[in-house]
Amino acid sequence: MSLFIDTLKGKRSAETPIWLMRQAGRYLPEYRALRENNSMLQMVQTPELACEVTLQPLRRFPLDAGIIFADILTPLIGMGVNLEFKKGEGPVIDNPIRSVADVSRLRVPKPEENVQYTLDAIKLVVKELNGKTPLIGFSGAPFTLSSYLIEGQSPGDSDLRHTKGLMVSNPEAWHELQEKLVTLSVEYLVAQVEAGCESLQIFDSWLGYVGPREYDRFVEPYLVKIIEQVKARVNVPVVFFATSVSSLFPRLGKLPADAFGVDWRISLPDAAKLIGRPVPLQGNLDPQLLSASWEYVERSARAILEEAATVPAHVFNLGHGVLQYTPVENVQRLIEFVKGYRR
């Protein structure tokens, strides 16, 4: 067993495991070199390229886990969604979901039909890692996937106007869509474990836009279904991660997840109190601060590690993904600092 997996299972040790969301990405020169001649979709959909990108940060840094290079939106393509990653705009869906008829036309393909390229990439990475480092698989949560499907673009550009409109004015369409996304996500997550992943993370990036009453009615039932169904079929730790959800933590704490990711907007001890049960936490350095002077990064990382002494178990991470202008040397020094820190 690895330090990372043991920690997600609630075991404390003197050393803190570390991995970083978006640890494979545009801050690395070797990633940018690959990206020059390949689109985002080409890189995700070519197993050899996805494998190479996944391994890039693991070759550079002594990280405790890798995460497969993919995107939460690519499983939607097989549903009949026209997805494109446009330069300067991010993901764009030119046939967004806005009605019951739109929802009804969505297929729910098997992972082998839909995302075999990611499953093949996982197998390649696992072979290369040869048991030395565990690999994380992931999916988007139904609410966040719905937000992209309905808005047709990055949801933050619209404040989820169409998403919330469909959710509250057409609950029949909403619930049908959620059921389809639950099925899609469960099968995808299970297939990633069967291909070799040793833990899973569910990303709910836009959940912070939802109020508590809407969460209870329109979101929670489907998160519970996904986690329960996955855990009934595969025996790996499941981490739930969302941003800007401090006010929802007492509700999120009831989810059957094994651990929770925490963003930088709340301290780890405060998050632990709100979650209300003794589970491992992952986080939570502000990714913007990773571009500050090393003295400030070190001070911030030390404070997080000291705070983490009061929570059941802790995986060091950022509160979101590594940003593209982050100095590589800061990433290197952060990882070395965390790996060298002892409680």
pLDDT at 157 (0 to 100): 62
**Number of domains the chain contains:** 1
User: What does the DSSP assignment read for 35-67?
Assistant: HTTS-HHHHHHSHHHHHHHHHHHHHHS--S-EE
* Catalytic residue selected from 6, 60, 71, 102: 71
Query: Which residues does the chain have with pLDDT short of 50?
Result: none
Q: How far apart are the first and last CA of the chain?
A: 21
pLDDT at 153: 86
Catalytic residue among 31, 148, 188, 222: 148
Decide the pairing of beta strands 238-242 and 90-93. unpaired
CATH number at residue 244: 3.20.20.210
CA dist 79 to 59, 76, 202, 301, Å?
35, 5, 19, 42
For residue 8, the enclosing domain spans 3-340
12, 26, 60, 217: the catalytic one is 26
Give the pLDDT score at 343.
74
The pLDDT tens digits for 263-277 are 999 999 999 999 999
Instruction: Render pLDDT for 151-171 as a digit per residue (tens, 0 to 9).
Output: 988 887 668 999 999 999 999
107 carries an active-site annotation: no
For residues 6 and 201, give the distance between their C-alpha atoms in angstroms, rounded to a whole number.
Answer: 16
Predicted pLDDT of residue 111: 96
Q: What is the pLDDT of residue 88?
A: 67
Active site annotation includes 342: no
pLDDT at 159: 83
In this prediction, residue 323 carries a pLDDT of 96
> Can 233 be counted among the known catalytic residues?
no
For residue 77, what pLDDT is reported? 95
Q: How far is CA 250 from CA 262, 267, 271, 340, in A?
A: 13, 15, 9, 33
Please tell me the distance from the alpha carbon of residue 229 to that of residue 235, in angstroms, as a whole number.
11
What is the predicted pLDDT for the residue at 124?
98
Residue 217 known to be catalytic? no
35 catalytic per annotation = yes
Cβ density class 59-91: b for 16+ within 10 Å, e for less = eebebbbbbbbbbbbbbbbbbebebebeeeeeb
